[in-house]
Homo-oligomer: A and B are copies of this chain.
């Protein structure tokens, strides 16, 4: 359970408040506002604020004075058109703010997306909690032999047990020493000075949890999700992306549909792949050899066109 009683109470108190607004509202998202959606063993994603909704995308695209909406069907058509033709600016007109708790090694991948605003909990200033990500047994995968950047079969038996035990033990030991170095709070040794927080943290492992506020516009969120909800993304960040996709579905259902149709379910083809497709559609039997494509590009084409 990722929340302390005090944190849960803070969240409940904030959820209990309501005030009238003239702004665009997304009722489905309001329902889960501030709620911590669990991810991994100690992590979560929670939406703490948002700006705009599907109508606001349309309104911005039309630079309109009023709500700008004619009908849901028209809006869906326009939003699909904007998505297909890479009109990014109307999607930038919606903004969302998340509070995320996540392992440091996931945070390091995440922060590579630069077009977002971040406030991270500071381990220079504060003390991190004793919480580490330990994979579920089903996630304890071997190195892929086909792909240097992927996972193969799941480890089993003694090897799996040893890995899990070692991850736990090393993390606990490192945290014990972190606390002893800090020498703060009750139980502190009055004869020792205690190491500066900004130094002691360096003993902690990369699976310790951190947290941040992360704010992004919808266009850049879609870009993040298209990379991180992709099957090639590392599982530990993909589960965050999946949880966020659910929040997007509540927030901007029309834009979500357009995104799933055009980006997540879509594909890009190279000039060479299109030429092969055209030959195939003209009835020619094209093989890898006769295609003129490299083996890798051929395989990527097969992955798209084979059901």
A residues 1-43 near B (Cβ < 8 Å) are: 3, 6-7, 9-11, 13-15, 17-25, 27, 30, 33-34
A206 in contact with B204 (CB, 8 Å)? yes
B93 in contact with A97 (CB, 8 Å)? yes
Asked if A196 meets B10 with Cβ closer than 8 Å, knowing A17-B22, A21-B23, A170-B173, the reply is no
Determine the distance from Cα of A304 to Cα of B277 in the docked complex, in whole angstroms. Answer: 10
Does A70 sit within 8 A of B, measured CB to CB?
Answer: no
B166 in contact with A203 (CB, 8 Å)? yes
A196 in contact with B262 (CB, 8 Å)? no
Residues of B within 8 A of A104 (CB): 108, 206
Does A72 sit within 8 A of B, measured CB to CB?
Answer: no
Residues of B within 8 A of A20 (CB): 18-21, 25, 30
Residues of B within 8 A of A261 (CB): 270-272
Residues of B within 8 A of A22 (CB): 14-15, 17-18, 30, 33-34
Asked if A174 meets B170 with Cβ closer than 8 Å, knowing A92-B215, A112-B118, A152-B193, the reply is yes
Chain B's closest residue to A169 (CB) is B177
Min CB distance, A1 to chain B, in Å? 14
Return the contact of A170 from the options B30, B177, B212, B296 (Cβ within 8 A). B177
A142 in contact with B278 (CB, 8 Å)? no
A152 in contact with B121 (CB, 8 Å)? no
Binds B, one of A45-53, A239-247, A248-256: A45-53
With most chain B CB atoms within 10 A of its CB, the pick from A6, A119, A152, A182 is: A119
A155 in contact with B195 (CB, 8 Å)? yes
Tell me the dominant secondary structure on chain A's binding face. mixed
B195 in contact with A66 (CB, 8 Å)? no
- The interface size bin for chain A is 35 or more
A residues 179-218 near B (Cβ < 8 Å) are: 180-182, 184, 192-199, 201-207, 211-213, 215, 217
Determine the distance from Cα of A84 to Cα of B121 in the docked complex, in whole angstroms. Answer: 20
Determine the distance from Cα of A184 to Cα of B307 in the docked complex, in whole angstroms. Answer: 36
Determine the distance from Cα of A30 to Cα of B90 in the docked complex, in whole angstroms. Answer: 23
Min CB distance, A205 to chain B, in Å? 6
Residues of B within 8 A of A217 (CB): 117, 215
Residues of B within 8 A of A21 (CB): 18-21, 23, 25, 30
Sample of 6 more A-B contacts, CB < 8 Å, known A10-B64, A90-B119, A151-B198? A10-B67, A104-B108, A104-B206, A111-B111, A143-B193, A205-B206
Q: Which residues of A contact B (CB under 8 A)?
A: 3, 6-7, 9-11, 13-15, 17-25, 27, 30, 33-34, 48-52, 56, 59-61, 63-67, 77, 80-81, 84, 86, 89-90, 92-93, 95, 97, 99, 103-105, 107-108, 111-112, 114-115, 117-122, 124-125, 133, 135, 139-144, 148-153, 155, 159, 163, 166-167, 170-171, 173-174, 177, 180-182, 184, 192-199, 201-207, 211-213, 215, 217, 227, 234, 260-262, 264-274, 277-278, 280-282, 294, 296-297, 300, 304-307
